[in-house]
Amino acid sequence: MRKHWGTGPVFAYESMLNARRWQVYAGRSVFVLLVLCGLVIVWVARTRLGFGTSPTWAVYEQMAKLGEWFFYAMAGIQVSLVILAAPASTAGSICMDRARGTLAHMMVTDLSDAEIVLGKLGARLAPIMGLIACGVPVAALVTLLGGVDFGAIVGLFVVSVSVAVIGCALSLTISVWAAKTHDVLMAVYMIVGLWLLALPIWGGLSASGKLRAPPGWFAKANPYLLVFAPYVNPGTVGVRDYALFAGAVLLISAALVVVVMP
């Protein structure tokens, strides 16, 4: 039998099911609502600091500073929600089908392993990509104030997409061996937590003199640092850093997908 590659009918079937689920549209609405709430909180907080009462409120420097704080809120909320939502959307893709018996039915068809795995991964990843795309209009509104670097916006969405891909791939891989959805989520969130905490832990140990300072590439492997770097440490990241992050993440994700295909 010829081995097929690609998403195949599994992607089409599960995408059609996802399109009929109200949770997908509710999730997108909640995502945009949370981002907008973050912008409102920043607006209110900056106004209480005196920006709304000064005659210089309309000065470009003040508006640019407000745009910078808007970016902090939008980027932090977007990356955090993607980190949480991507594994959750894929956690039950294999283990639930195995428990229901539908996975055994797919295995006796002409579908190849690649079609099953890639189809399920693509179908679960597509709603997360739609979720990220919902942040584009909000980012466009924020840029109207000025003070928001276009490169930082592009880097934010590159990092968000990369985090979504590896989150779904890791969750799918663990789902092959786990028995229940919550087991997959616990394992994935533990791994992601170690990933995010590795830099501050290393930094704390280096501050105490037990280790050397973490190298630059290790620091840039943290998605939050990479997203906020254009403002926190201007000039330290560029297109090359975003490309290397995305390339490394996609390479790891591809390796994880190959692992689950015998």
If you average pLDDT over residues 200-211, what whole number do you get? 82
Task: Tell me how many domains the chain contains.
Answer: 1
Decide if 1 is inside a domain: no
Q: Show the domain range for 233.
A: 8-259
Handedness of CA 98, 100, 101, 103 (dihedral sign): negative
Decide if 136 is inside a domain: yes
Decide if 130 is inside a domain: yes
Decide if 90 is inside a domain: yes
* Structure tokens, 196: 């995010």
Confidence band of 213 (pLDDT split at 50, 70, 90): confident
Model confidence, pTM: 0.85
Q: Is the pLDDT score of 93 beyond 90? A: no
Decide if 221 is inside a domain: yes
Decide if 2 is inside a domain: no
CA distance 74 to 71: 5
* pLDDT at residue 243 in the model: 93
Decide if 3 is inside a domain: no
Q: In the Cβ-directed half-sphere of 52, how many Cα atoms lie within 13 Å? A: 8
Decide if 189 is inside a domain: yes
